[in-house]
Structures are given as C-alpha cells and as structure tokens.
Amino acid sequence: MKYLFFTNTPAHVHLYKHAVQRLRDRGHETLVLARDYTCTTDLLEWYDLPYVTYGACDTSKGSLLSRLPAHYTRAIRHARNYDPDLVFGMGCYAAHTGAVTRTPTVLLIDSEPASFDHTISTPFARAVLTPHTFRKDLGDHHYTFAGFKECAYLHPEIYERNHSIREQLGLESDEPYVILRLNAFGSQHDVGKRGITSADRRRIVERLSEKATVLVSDESGDVDLESLPARSFDLHPALMHDALAEAELLVADTQTMVTEAALLGTPAIRSNSFVGDDDMGNFVELENQGLIHNVTSADEIVERSVSLLTADDTRETWQRRRTEFLRDTVNLTDVIVDVALVQGRVADLEALYQFGQPPEPEPAKPIGVGGD
C-alpha cells in the first residue's frame, strides 16, 4: 500500500517518523509532503525520510496566508502523482488534499483552540484521532487514545536517551542547565496570543543563570543574547529531545516542548496567554499529574524555577511521576501503524475508543491464590 504523510511543522515530523519507517520496513510505500517551515526539512533529512516540499513559509502570520493557494496547488498535484491509498495529517492541508484526490484521510489533532481548522477539515476525514484529554466532540468519526501525540516518539518503548549529549553541548557532567524555549507565535491557532515579553525574558534569564547554565531555543531567531547571561542551543534540532531529557528545567511559552519535557520527566514551566480557564486539556492533565506548572506571570516563573532548581529531590520526583503517568499510555507509533494497515477504519482497534465512550474497565485481578 501507499501512504502519504503531511508534515507542516517540526513536531509533525517527530509524530510520524517512526511510523513511516516501520511501514517502509513492512514493504509499503511512503511519502512525506512537507512544508519548509523552521527546521522541518532539516529533520526529514536527518531521519532520512522520503519527502517532497509543497511550499514554504516563515514564522510570521501573514506569510502562511499569502501562500495558501500555491501550497494547495502543489500539495494536490504531488498527491495526484503519488496516488496514495491513505493520507495522514493534522488539519486542512491533508483533509482537503484527500478530498480532492478522493483518498481517505486520517487526522491526528491535539489542539482544541484551532476551531476554524477543525470546522473546515474534520468533515473530510475518515477518522479523527485525539488524545484522551481532548475536550471537544469532533463528530461520530472522532476516536481517542490514551496519551498525547508525543507518545509516538517519547514513549518509553521508543525513546532512548543519548548519554553523550552533555559533551555535545560543551557542558560538564555535573553542570546543571536550563532550557528556555521561545515561540514565534506564527501559526493560525496562535493569532492573538502572546508569550514571554522581552523585558520578562531578561529578568528570567538573569535569575536562572544564578542557578544553572541557560540555553535558549528561539523559534523566531530574533532574540539578541549578547547582553544576556545565556547562550543559544546550537546543536542540530534533532538532538533537542536528548538535551531536554538531561536538563534540570524547561521554561517555555510554547506548547509542544512542554509536553515533551513532561514525557521525559523534566520539570517544565509554561507561560503564555493560552493558560487559563479555557486551557487545552493536555496541559490541564499534565499539571494535575504534577509534571508541569502553567503560570501567567514572570514572578511565578522565577519563583517556581528557583524552587525546583534548589530542591534536592526534584529529578527523582519527576521521574517517578513520569513513570506513573506513562504506565497507562499507548505507544502511539504502534497505533498509527495499525490505523494505516486498516486504511483508517479504526472502529475495531483496541487502542482507540469513540469520543465520550471510554473503554470498559479491566476485570479486577484475583488477590492471592484463587482470589479472596
């Protein structure tokens, strides 16, 4: 069979990279349709995945909108030439390309705020898959899985730590370090949203640098670090998860890396204008599990950062919480491969259940010999 995967952002590459390889190993044909956005194509090259680009855009909001017609034209042309049996994606590009080429499509969605995208994409999908924490009903073809999309590449059955990452970063074996991740806020669902301001960024870096080396990962590339006690994360982006796994702390105004930190057992502090009563279900769940802190001010960032960096049991506590949380989650790569093999007809897959209908609880196990 032939499978087509849309990767519009770097996170999409990570989501599908293992599934693409497994399907190729089984003798199926795969092709990735990529948007050249930040480091998306760099990752595809690193993982040696077969891909073609359908367009490019930068991190400004206007860049994507102005290029949409050309993107659609090229994506549909590539899809027609490839003639897949099933399309995978996360939104309108995949859904509309599948509709025009009359190819069944599976959407994997994890962001509740992207309502407009849901409205114009989900009606064209054979199946819509979301994390179990997703709080919006997307229709009769909406199925959920236990875990998050990041379980496709950071589940314990998949991810292996890179023990040489400190050396690659130029750090001593016992040198504590913190990663500060800054979002460009250039996506459609980021319209009207904001993160850590320039003034707050300076204050946060100066305070964190008293406790640890500060590495900055800036999506926009606009942050001037010359006057700050910090340095840029300058390794290949494919090594970010390895760096994140060894870090003492992540401070971020972005989304995906916060979930990634949680699944790696690294404390994370998230601060942006998504935080609040209408926050996304996955971040509410991760905070309830004690794996992240969602805050709204620089004061809270500094206070919680200092507390985490000075406590003696932080790493042990977070690793224990990670293990407990991941015990009940799926290896999402296994699920994606299974979905591909049944061409998106997912109703009978054990790892998925229809939205609003949680799985039947397992029978209680006997206590002792013959039960109690």
Residue pLDDT, tens place only, 91-106: 999 999 999 999 999 9
Give the residue-averaged pLDDT of 314-325: 97
Model confidence band, residue 364 (pLDDT cutoffs 50, 70, 90): very low
Residue predicted with more confidence, 33 or 365: 33
Strand order of the sheet with strand 292-295? 231-232, 213-218, 177-182, 249-252, 268-271, 292-295
Sign of CA dihedral 192, 223, 66, 31: negative
Given a cut of 60, whether residue 261 has pLDDT beyond it is yes
> Which domains occur in the chain, in start order?
2-155+329-354 (3.40.50.2000), 165-326 (3.40.50.2000)
Residue predicted with more confidence, 297 or 362: 297
| Residue 198: CA count within 13 A, CB half-sphere | 5
Give the residue-averaged pLDDT of 170-193: 77
The helix or strand, by DSSP H or E, that contains position 142, with its residue range, turns out to be strand 142-145
- Check if the beta carbon of residue 248 is closer than 8 Å to that of residue 176: yes
% of the chain exceeding 90 in pLDDT: 82
Most distant pair of Cα atoms in the chain: their distance: 70
Q: What is the pLDDT of residue 224?
A: 81
pLDDT tens digit sequence for 163-179: 999 999 999 999 999 99
Model confidence band, residue 66 (pLDDT cutoffs 50, 70, 90): confident
Q: What is the pLDDT of residue 360?
A: 53
Give the residue-averaged pLDDT of 332-359: 94
Question: What is the overall mean pLDDT for the chain?
Answer: 92
Give the residue-averaged pLDDT of 52-61: 84
Give the residue-averaged pLDDT of 136-146: 97
Q: What is the pLDDT of residue 368?
A: 36
Please indicate, yes or no, whether the overall pTM of this predicted structure exceeds 0.85. yes
Given a cut of 90, whether residue 59 has pLDDT beyond it is no
Model confidence band, residue 193 (pLDDT cutoffs 50, 70, 90): low
